[in-house]
């Protein structure tokens, strides 16, 4: 009986070693297409690994904002997370060069530049202790306000939300002389209710998913920037997995995130109509001169952040890739 008991204890203690739980965090709310697709590829990975990899997902900011999620990854409380550029920039500020205002004109340009720079950024994140599994995005970001905005002067009369601890957004608003209130993303909705801010920037689909559209009346119909994202896993967690499981995890996550990106683009296009159906008025820039002023502000911001977020070499590389793509079209 004693031998049987010892065997039972040893056998049951072996079982958990064959199963890895990946604790995944995101600020994306449950019920959105993002989370539905994320759960779908998590299930595929579990199936393809015969249950050796399973996920415990914390959505909707349960683990806090992106800085909180990152801190918990460093402490080993979270293994992986989906970040916007703000979170990615906390680890590798240089990546924020891809979110400079008024830089990209369409998604094709985004894909061309992002794909060209993927391996470079993967290596740089690895040196910081993270596997950069895949690019993601929330898409093109627009300014939403409670008063009509058609030019820089109108923006200067708003109280714009500023993502707390975001040096890029801070520089943009400083260059454009826009008053801004620093807040965590999880505090924006209540701050709009309390009239602490009366403007914010976000992609159309995210605006609906976060319910922020209920606190705005106008949208400036000219994108401020393109908001990147990415999925990171701690190097320690990734390298604890056998090579064959790493390959499945990376390949299936990349496929799943790419599907989320394509779906996000469709959702953003549909959301423009939904926003208007819910009373949001799309307002075009006043004239071509205003657009020129916006682009000039983007150029000033790009130069101001050289040496702060990224080297001149990285900015030059992005501009060169954009020129290459545009000349080919």
Would you state the pLDDT for residue 23?
A: 97
Q: Tens digit of pLDDT for each residue in 229-268? A: 999 999 999 999 999 999 999 999 999 999 999 999 999 9
Q: Would you say residue 130 has pLDDT above 70?
A: yes
Q: Would you say residue 53 has pLDDT above 70?
A: yes
CB–CB of 189/211 below 8 Å? yes
* pLDDT grade for 18, boundaries at 50, 70 and 90: confident
> Encoding tokens for residue 113?
């530049």
Q: Would you say residue 5 has pLDDT above 70?
A: no
Average pLDDT, the chain: 92
Q: What superfamily does domain 2-327 belong to in CATH?
A: Bacterial extracellular solute-binding protein, family 7 (3.40.190.170)
Q: Which residue has the higher pLDDT, 99 or 29?
A: 99
Q: Tens digit of pLDDT for each residue in 189-225? A: 999 999 999 999 999 999 999 999 999 999 999 999 9
Spacing of C-alpha 297 from chain mean position: 23
31 torsion bin: left (phi>0), alpha (psi -120 to 50), beta (else): left
Q: Tens digit of pLDDT for each residue in 74-117? A: 999 999 999 999 999 999 999 999 999 999 999 999 999 999 99
Contacts of 84 (CB under 8 A, 6+ apart): 27, 66, 138, 227, 228, 229
Alpha helices (runs of H) in the chain, residue ranges in sequence order: 2-14, 33-48, 66-74, 85-91, 107-127, 152-155, 167-175, 188-193, 204-209, 235-239, 243-277, 288-304, 312-327
How many whole angstroms separate alpha carbon 69 and alpha carbon 306? Answer: 27
> Encoding tokens for residue 266?
């469709």
* pLDDT grade for 17, boundaries at 50, 70 and 90: low
- Phi first, then psi: give them for residue 230, nearest 5 degrees: -170, 160
Q: Would you say residue 3 has pLDDT above 60?
A: no
Q: Strand, helix or coil at 136? A: strand
Q: What is the pTM of this model?
A: 0.88
Q: Strand, helix or coil at 18? A: helix
Q: Tens digit of pLDDT for each residue in 140-161? A: 999 999 999 999 999 999 999 9
Domain limits, the chain: 2-327
Name the burial class of residue 21, with classes exposed (0-12), middle (13-18) and buried (19+) by CB atoms within 10 angstroms of its CB: exposed
């Amino acid at each position: 009986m004693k031998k049987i008991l010892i065997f039972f204890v040893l056998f049951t203690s072996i079982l958990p070693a064959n199963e890895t739980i990946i604790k995944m965090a995101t600020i994306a709310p449950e019920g959105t297409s993002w989370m539905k697709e994320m759960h779908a590829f998590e299930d595929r990975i579990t199936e393809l690994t015969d249950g050796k990899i399973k996920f415990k997902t914390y959505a909707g900011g349960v683990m806090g904002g992106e800085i909180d999620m990152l801190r918990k990854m460093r402490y080993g409380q979270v293994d992986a997370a989906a970040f916007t550029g703000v979170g990615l920039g906390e680890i590798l500020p240089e990546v924020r060069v891809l979110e400079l205002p008024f830089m990209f004109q369409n998604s094709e340009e985004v894909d061309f530049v992002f794909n060209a720079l993927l391996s470079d950024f993967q290596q740089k994140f690895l040196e910081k202790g993270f596997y950069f599994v895949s690019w993601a995005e929330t898409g093109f970001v627009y300014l939403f306000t409670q008063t009509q905005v058609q030019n820089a002067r109108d923006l200067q009369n708003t109280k714009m939300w500023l993502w707390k601890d975001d040096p890029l957004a801070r520089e943009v608003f400083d260059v454009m002389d826009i008053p801004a209130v620093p807040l965590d993303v999880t505090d924006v909705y209540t701050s709009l209710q309390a009239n602490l801010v009366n403007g914010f920037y976000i992609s159309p689909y995210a605006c609906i998913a976060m319910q922020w559209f209920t606190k705005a009346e106008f949208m400036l119909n000219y994108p401020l920037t393109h908001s990147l994202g990415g999925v990171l896993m701690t190097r320690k967690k990734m390298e604890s997995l056998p090579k064959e499981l790493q390959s499945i995890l990376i390949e299936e996550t990349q496929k799943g995130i790419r599907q989320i990106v394509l779906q996000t683009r469709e959702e953003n296009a549909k959301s423009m109509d939904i926003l208007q159906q819910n009373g949001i008025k799309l307002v075009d820039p006043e004239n071509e001169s205003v657009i020129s002023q916006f682009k000039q502000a983007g150029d000033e911001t790009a130069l101001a952040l050289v040496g702060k977020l990224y080297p001149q070499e990285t900015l030059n590389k992005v501009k060169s890739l954009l020129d290459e793509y545009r000349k080919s079209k």
